[in-house]
Amino acid sequence: MWPYPKILAHRGGGTLAPENTLAGLRRGMEAGFRAIEFDVMLARDGVPVVLHDPELGRTVAGSGSVAEIDAPALAARDAGAWFAPEFAGEPVPLFAEFAQYCKAHGVWMNIEIKPVPGHDARTGTVVARLAAALFADDLAAGRVERAPLLSSFSEAALEAARHAAPALPRAWLTASLPRDWARRARALDVVAIHTDHKRLTAAQAAAVKAAGFGLFCYTVNTPARARELFGWGVDGLCTDRIDLIGPAFN
């Protein structure tokens, strides 16, 4: 039912290292994690980069939209100094290199497709194609559980990903479950629903599981809450507190 790891390090290393960077991923790996969630969007040249915000300024030095800068220029920006001086110079990762690093180190990926507004379908297509190409060997051998799980709040991005790489599993991210969640999840042909644990109820969790979908929660930062959610039947979660909820948490 849920063939994936139960606990994922959110944005690579949670809040213990700069998010969505190789340094963050390494911090997660130091804590024993071999499963992460991270965010991907397209730069101006259509090259996918690992980033959360469509605007520069919070984690990446500078200002303006990611859609107005080419990937090489973005990769030269500082994505670590905001977090702590020792991370200064940490670059914005190119998605292809970051995913390759994960694969080489046996780190399972939940890739969140997070399009810059207005670039939904193109982002879904590009990310799905690259991920499917990187895991072509596993997909051909039927080892789908090793391939990344693509997720997105953008239904257009999910539809495009489905069209571009039908063999790659997808999950629908929704901050809360709308009344027609089951119909929409079936229409999107997703294997799982990813949702904010703060708005999830035990009854909804049971209904999602009864409908046959995987159920994943973001972003769970206390062991007590993680335990409660697993008691509700939740299959997996990501955490910012990789120091409190480790990869072997049960």
Kindly list the catalytic residues: 10, 52
Pairing of strands 108-113, 149-152: parallel
**Owner of token pair 């990789």:** 242
Instruction: Select the residue interacting with ligand G3P from 4, 39, 93, 169 (CB under 6 A).
Output: 39
- Eight-state DSSP code of residue 161: H
> What residues contact 238, with CB distance under 8 A and at least 6 apart?
7, 8, 9, 10, 37, 110, 216, 217, 218, 219, 220
Instruction: Give the shortest CB-236-to-ligand G3P separation in angstroms.
Output: 11
Total residues contacting ligand G3P (rule CB under 6 A)?
11
112 is an interface residue for Mg ion by CB under 5 A: yes
The per-type count for the chain, helices as H runs and strands as E runs, is 9, 9
19 is an interface residue for ligand G3P by CB under 6 A: no
Residues 16-75 that bind Mg ion (CB under 5 A): 39
157 or 238: whose CB is closer to ligand G3P? 238
77 is an interface residue for ligand G3P by CB under 6 A: no
Pairing of strands 35-42, 48-50: antiparallel
162 is an interface residue for ligand G3P by CB under 6 A: no
CA atoms 210, 156, 37, 144: torsion sign: positive
240 is an interface residue for Mg ion by CB under 5 A: no
The C-alpha angle 139, 208, 158, rounded to 5 degrees, equals 45
Instruction: Give the shortest CB-218-to-Mg ion separation in angstroms.
Output: 7
90 is an interface residue for Mg ion by CB under 5 A: no
Instruction: Give the shortest CB-113-to-Mg ion separation in angstroms.
Output: 10
Q: Give the interface with ligand G3P as residue ranges (CB under 6 A).
A: 10, 37, 39, 52, 112, 151, 173, 194, 218-219, 238
